[in-house]
Chains A and B, each alone.
Chain A
Amino acid sequence: MSELWYELEPFLQQGTLGLVNGAFYAILSLGLAVIFGMLNVVNFAHGAQFMLGAFVAWMLLNWAGIGYWGALVLAPLIVGLLGVVIERTMIARLYKLDHLYGLLLTFGLALIIEGTMRNAFGSSGLPYQVPEAFRIPPVDLGYMLMPAYRFWIVIVSLVVCFGTWYAIEKTKLGSYLRAAVERPQLVQAFGINVPLMMTATYGAGVALAAFAGVLAAPVYSVNPAMGANFIIIVFAVVVIGGMGSILGSIVTGYILGVIEGFTRVYYPEASATVVFVIMAIVLLVRPTGLFGRA
């Protein structure tokens, strides 16, 4: 093994691992951007909904015998439905008020959900095994051994992110959504049920968070704080990417995951803060974010 290769190896390793974290950042910030872009609601309960996704996967396995693949479909549906209920009963009443109210409401919800889960399940977390299909020896990439399941995370997140972007930017439904953001009254006048669309959008955003939660269950400890650790970083990602920009949040998610990975080699103590340093710099140089429109 040559000297240069030895120096290059950690870059490749951490870049690859960073992509996995970036995958979570991307799905979560995408959900946030969708909700924010369409509803103008800063959904602080997003981390708690991510955590609920993982817990519902655990419950499905242990209480109903439904494995990972079933959970990947069912958990987002269940948590998404919960989101619909929350939107209908609470958030919908706040659209006319200052946006701080929505933020406070969802933040309060997050604390309640996390506290409830902590009381019910403790803080250490619950075991959730990697699904049977991925219990194969790690894949040798030449520069590292990568567990098959982590590949799956990256691939599936790319598919989901692209799918969501396509649905919003390129389909007819997406065009209604975007129109409803700009001129809700006008769109309603054309006979489109805007409130229903808002509800569905919130439900879909929440379902995305829960989907990420199921993906995370086999690799991270399923515990009530797992979302809280992510959510602050994900908000930074959204700000860096440009508020409400779908593509911005996806691309920034992956990039920041990779940058964070590099930090873990060269200055690990700073790996928890590097995202915020970047956020500060981006805000100074481009106040609208990397992909935001002025």
Chain B
Amino acid sequence: MSITRRTLLTGTAAAGALPLVTPLRHARAQAANTIRIGVLNDQSGLYRDLSGPGSTQAVRLAVQESGITTRGVNVEVAEADHQNKPDVGSTIVRQWLDRDGFDVIVDVPTSSVALAVNTLCRERNKVLLVSGAATSDLTGSACSPNTIHWTYDTWMLARGTGGATVAAGGRTWFFITADYAFGHALERDVSNFVRAAGGEVLGGVRTPFPGTTDFSSFLVQAQRSRAQVIGLANAGGDTINSIKQAAEFGITRRGQKLAGLLVFISDVHALGLQTAQGLVLTATFYWDLNDNTREFTRRLGRMPNDVRPSMVHAGCYSAVLHYLKAVEAMGVQAAKASGAAVVERMKAMPTDDICFGKGTIRQDGRKIHPAYLFEVKSPQESRGPWDYYKLLQTIPADQAFRPLNEGGCPLVRT
């Protein structure tokens, strides 16, 4: 045998390391009146469809609609793939901020990466607008004067889906949790709700992230716990595989309820209505919610792979639109000089856009708007492509997010 094992092992190591080397597009032109926006997210993995290139498209739309470029300000938008790895994300952001003079980082799904970037942006006094990441720590223990958490968070999901499930009689819970910052935060926030409502958490299992394909072992453990509710504290491809396999194992037919704590419209599309019907989920944006959201979807135009915009895409649009308003109000020079000053200005201005309506930004960096409890339609109810949700309940803005004094954010003056 002339191939040595060493050759094979080298190759295997290369397979793991090679995807790290991805092209990074960035602009080089140096100009004092140029605002540089870096969209950092998952462009190739399990969160690509819910953020990915669609987020960049939404950011570009915001830049265009803000009209700021017609008034003498240059805006450059770049995108990069963090592959859901904090080290990769940090390297890109350091390069963007230290070498390329970027002013603002947008999106950053995957909570572990967002927490790392949160620190970097604070140290360098730049702006971070989080749309994709979920951990409520971004406005809690890890809150920063340079960060705004825009679209949703784990507390909101716990309040929405978790609260509704408890209210519907789900007293005992078992969690299947993605083993990283996001899963842990979501499990914690939902557990608090369950216990506060007099329920009980019977147990849970932490699944390796990323890279878990088979959830059957975990589902069987959940079944064995005899909990009334199996809480899926995961997202994207993990949620899709969990729900698909739960249906296969007939989990719900045996009386246990499945709570998908974070379900995106791209997940429902991938599952198909046959499998996804009846799921209850919480979101702050649905493309077919009202005339405004449909108008946004129309203006956004054709998305990669013909998906409809997720709440993460809408959040990127809304956040950048508001950011550019603040930049214009204070002047590009001042905005480039201090990220914290821009964020301070953004907090002082009320927000208003076609995706989320009127809203505010709180002292801890939490963007406030209503949340919606949806149920996934059955194939019979669906009238056409991407007609997936029906509205169950609107959670008013002042109740949708964690009360200001409960997050433990040091920025909050009491």
Interface residues of A (CB under 8 A from B): 9-10, 13-14, 17-18, 20-21, 36, 40, 42, 44, 99-100, 103-104, 107, 111, 115, 118-127, 129-130, 137-138, 144-145, 147, 149-150, 218-221, 223, 225-226, 229-232, 235-236, 238-239, 243-244, 261, 264-265, 268-273, 283, 287
Alpha-carbon separation in the docked complex, A265 to B305 (Å): 38
Q: Given the complex, which residues of B lie within 8 Å of A119, measured CB to CB?
A: 304-305
Q: Please determine whether B18 and A107 come into contact, CB atoms closer than 8 angstroms.
A: yes
Q: Smallest Cβ distance from B213 to chain A, in angstroms? A: 5
Binding site secondary structure of chain B: helix
Docked CA distance A147–B251 (Å): 11
Please name all residues of chain B whose beta carbon is closer than 8 Å to the beta carbon of A40 when the two chains form the complex.
Answer: 1-3
Given contacts A14-B217, A103-B8, list 15 more A-B pairs with CB under 8 A: A13-B220, A20-B214, A118-B48, A120-B305, A122-B307, A124-B49, A129-B272, A149-B248, A150-B248, A221-B237, A221-B270, A232-B12, A232-B15, A236-B12, A265-B217
A127 to B236, CA, bound (A): 14
Given A40-B1, A229-B211, answer yes or no on A221-B240 (Cβ-Cβ < 8 Å): yes
In angstroms, Cα B8 to Cα A176, docked, is: 26
Is B2's CB under 8 angstroms from A123's CB?
A: no
Contacting pair A122 B18 (CB below 8 A): no
29 of the cross-chain contacts (CB-CB < 8 Å) are: A9-B224, A13-B217, A17-B217, A20-B214, A44-B11, A107-B18, A118-B44, A119-B304, A120-B305, A122-B307, A123-B47, A123-B236, A123-B237, A124-B48, A126-B270, A127-B271, A138-B250, A144-B223, A219-B245, A229-B213, A232-B12, A232-B15, A232-B16, A235-B12, A264-B218, A268-B205, A271-B207, A271-B208, A273-B208
The 10 A-B pairs at the shortest CB distance, nearest first, are namely: A127-B272, A272-B208, A122-B305, A123-B48, A264-B217, A124-B270, A124-B49, A103-B11, A125-B270, A122-B49
Tell me if B163 counts as interface (CB < 8 A to partner A). no
Would you call A147 and B305 a contact (CB within 8 A)? no
The CA of A9 and the CA of B220, in the complex, are separated in Å by 11
B248 proximity list for chain A (CB < 8 A): 130, 147, 149-150, 218-219
Please give, as numbers and ranges, the residues of chain B lying within 8 Å of A124 by CB-CB distance. Answer: 46, 48-50, 236-237, 240, 266-267, 269-270
Partner of A123, one of B46, B214, B271: B46
Interface residue? B288 (CB, 8 A):
no
> What total of chain B residues lie within 8 Å of the partner, measured CB to CB?
62
Contacts of A17 in B (CB 8 A): 214, 216-217, 220
Min CB distance, A280 to chain B, in Å? 10
Residues of B within 8 A of A149 (CB): 248
CB-CB nearest in chain B for A238 = B8
Q: In whole angstroms, how far apart are the Cα atoms of A107 and B267 in the complex?
A: 29
- Is B237 within 8 A of A225, CB to CB? yes
Please indicate the chain A residues that have their CB under 8 angstroms from the CB of B18 in the complex.
Answer: 107, 111
